[in-house]
Chain A
Amino acid sequence: MVVRKMNGLERVMTALRLKEPDRVPHFERIAGKVREGILPGASEEDFVEHMDLDGIRFIDRTHSWSYETVDEAKRIKRDQWGGLVRYTSEDNPVPVEPAIKSEKDLENYVLPDPDEEWRYEYLKQLAKRFKGERAIVVGVTDIFALGRENILGDVGYFRAMVKNPDFIYRTSEIILDYQLRYMRNCSELGVDIFWVNGDWAMTERPMVSREFTEKFLAPPFKKLVDYAHSLGVSVIKHTDGNIWPIYDTIIDAGTDGLHPIDPMAGMDIGEAKAKFGDKVCLCGNVSCAFSLVSGTEEEVRQETREVIRKAGKGGGLICMSSNSIHSGVNPKNYLAMVKAIREFGQYPLALD
């Protein structure tokens, strides 16, 4: 059988439709340090082109949220929601103080303006360079994650789930208003996929009970998915952790892809393929905790082969790491993973 060569966008979208592309697609978020180890001095966009990756990710937290410096030495800034974030050594802004601490704060809350043009400058650049050729994947922070991390804070959010559910509902509505407008603006500029980022689970178990997942997490997520679909845009949901007890709530919300099928949390991608691979595209899961960091290139090659063997059959797989190509990943191992995807991921697969 002759398979027509696809471009990156076609490859990714075919996998998301649970069909077989010409080969297993791949794209990633790749830390600057790893990129630097492979192609010194290259921009992220140049790197994507050099590696012929099938898509590029736009991170909302870093590319379209505003920040104001509060303490330069401690790398603390105030984010656009009103809370404080502290930058990690990976340059990730991690919330350290929430925006809303009381009912009064919520009543007086002024939402940032999602229609400000500057938020979309990077997306415009990506669309100009990659539209139609590679998947343009735009981050939309999950309503639960945004509410929990930036708006109410972990403790405030979890406490309110038990003691004051209405506080959560009202907060979610406010955040949804922003995110839906942001998504509409992105759709007008050429986004192909919304990457809904935000963990629902820990290594051992989901963060909240199934009852709370159905009550607080799934409904606003479904609104994001439904809206994306109404705009003609696909959705990949990211959540680390063990989601076995709640995976159906994510799939029932209508997501097209699920990332990363966390192996550290006991999520076997073969089992995922058997249980829900006919409903959602699997995105994962070469270990960025072990093999990509400290394994040999051959170990990475074999693990990548195994991921494709277990989950690639019939399509519906985007082969990625188990979280991201963070700065601890050995650049040689990332190259080994990409090479292995190209080596073993040609359809029709011949790995059994």
Chain B
Amino acid sequence: MNLEELSQAVVAGDIDTAEKLTKEAIASHIPIADILGAGLVPGLRRVGELFEKGEYYLPELIVSGDAVARALDYLEPMMGQKGASYMGRYLIGTVQGDVHDLGKNIVIMMLRGNGWEVTDLGVDVSPQEFCSAVSTGDYQIVGISSLLTMTMVNSAKTIEALKAAGVRDKVKVMVGGAPTTAEWAAQIGADAHAKDGPMAAIVAAELVGKS
């Protein structure tokens, strides 16, 4: 079967077609890595390009995300098996004092669609909770989201807490969120900044040398 059609279903946000094609691909014994690599990932990449070009906005991202999520319902139970390894483990949360999760959830959708195993700490996550999760888990990247100008400072506090806990060097730290900038990310000692969900997937791959 032609996985290009699966990519097109993702771009179009066509949930039913994405589901049907994913089931067909699995039934045809196409390797999970190929369904991701030649179906979902190129579709999401195209969605990201359209977003960056200003042709897609949040509504289009959401419905494309719905199509990817439906496909992943069938694929994720088989991830981790032979020939279907994850890109890596990604820990994410919205900083303390901030309970917005739309941006974070779009990042998660993009990461999962690109083959990341994502642990979501949710919203209003304290620096201690980030530290504890990093200490006990095996993550390559920690993503810290702040959607409010007034909570940006808590991203910096979280990075400081990771240092104080002696686990900062265990992970790469990405920061993002509506009011954030690359300059600010550098100032607070993050490894990388992503201005939106599509960019987060690209930057994450770069951070682990899999771009």
Contact = CB atoms under 8 A, between A and B. Distances in A.
A326 B124 CA distance: 17
Interface string A290-306: 00010000000000000
Contacts of A94: 99-100
B57 A208 contact: yes
A17 B82 CA distance: 69
B27 interface: no
A89 interface: yes
Contacts of B115: none
A94 B105 CA distance: 16
B127 interface: no
A142 to B, nearest CB: 16
Contacts of A209: 57, 59
A205 interface: yes
A130 B178 CA distance: 36
B54 interface: yes
Given A88-B99, A158-B59, A202 B124 contact: no
Contacts, number: 79
Contact of B149 (A207, A212, A326): A326
B97 A205 contact: no
Contacts of B105: 155
Contacts of A88: 97-99, 124, 148, 151
Nearest to A94: B99
A167 B61 CA distance: 19
Interface residues of A, number: 34
Interface string A82-103: 0000101110001010000000
A130 to B, nearest CB: 27
B99 A86 contact: yes
Contact of A162 (B60, B149, B195): B60
B148 to A, nearest CB: 8
Nearest to B196: A204
A228 B43 CA distance: 46
B102 A203 contact: no
B57 A264 contact: no
B150 interface: yes
A37 interface: no
Contacts of A234: none
A102 to B, nearest CB: 15
B152 A203 contact: no
Contacts of B98: 88
B33 interface: no
Sort A-B residue pairs by CB-CB distance and give the 5 closest, nearest first: A326-B150, A158-B59, A89-B97, A158-B62, A161-B59
Given A88-B99, A264-B181, A328-B150, 16 more contacts: A88-B98, A89-B97, A90-B150, A96-B99, A154-B58, A158-B61, A158-B62, A158-B63, A159-B62, A203-B180, A205-B57, A207-B57, A207-B58, A240-B178, A264-B179, A288-B149
23 contacts: A86-B99, A86-B123, A88-B99, A88-B124, A90-B97, A154-B102, A155-B105, A158-B63, A159-B63, A159-B66, A161-B59, A162-B13, A162-B63, A203-B179, A204-B196, A205-B57, A208-B57, A241-B178, A245-B54, A264-B179, A288-B149, A327-B150, A328-B150
